[in-house]
């Protein structure tokens, strides 16, 4: 009886630890509700002529390492990051243009997410956003 209990405890330990290591493989969480966009950025909308294919190229060069080919937060570097890169497809469903433009411009302090303002032009950031919008 005692042995059976020990076996059960050992088994449940492995089951539980299996679950927690699995959650480490899921992409970073998206804050909900999303933080309020500061006034410098609030209300900005994507230019209707934003070039999606230019955005696709920029995304490949600048974002895929962390966010993954399809923006799912699963790029080659993602496993080593804490917090993990966001799933941009999930985020895109709930975030307005101004939110994305703000976050990509200013980055996120204390995480691997760089500020792209000054590296990419505003036009290029909009192109990247146009590409994120078509990811599935």
Residues of this chain that bind ligand HEC (CB under 6 A): 28, 30, 62-63, 65-67, 77, 81, 83, 85-86, 88, 91, 100, 103-104, 108, 111-114, 116, 128
Least Å distance, CB 125 to ligand HEC, is 8
The smaller minimum CB distance to ligand HEC, of residues 43 and 101, is found at: 101
The smaller minimum CB distance to ligand HEC, of residues 7 and 124, is found at: 124
The smaller minimum CB distance to ligand HEC, of residues 11 and 119, is found at: 119
The span from the CA of 41 to the CA of 129, in Å, is: 15
- Burial status of residue 28 (CB atoms within 10 A of its CB: 0-12, 13-18, 19 or more): buried
Which residues face 117 on adjacent strands? 120
The span from the CA of 94 to the CA of 33, in Å, is: 9
């Amino acid at each position: 009886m005692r042995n059976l209990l020990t076996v059960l405890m050992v088994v449940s330990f492995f089951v539980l630890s299996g679950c927690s290591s699995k959650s480490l493989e899921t992409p970073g969480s998206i804050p909900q509700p999303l933080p309020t966009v500061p006034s410098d950025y609030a209300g900005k909308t994507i230019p209707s002529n934003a070039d999606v294919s230019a955005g696709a190229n920029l995304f490949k060069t600048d974002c895929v390492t962390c966010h993954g080919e399809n923006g799912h937060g699963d790029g080659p570097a993602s496993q080593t990051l804490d917090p993990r890169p966001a799933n941009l497809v999930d985020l895109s469903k709930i975030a307005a243009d101004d939110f994305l433009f703000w976050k990509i411009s200013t980055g996120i302090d204390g995480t691997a997410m760089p500020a792209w303002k000054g590296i990419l032009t505003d036009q290029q950031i909009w192109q990247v956003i146009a590409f994120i919008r078509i990811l599935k």
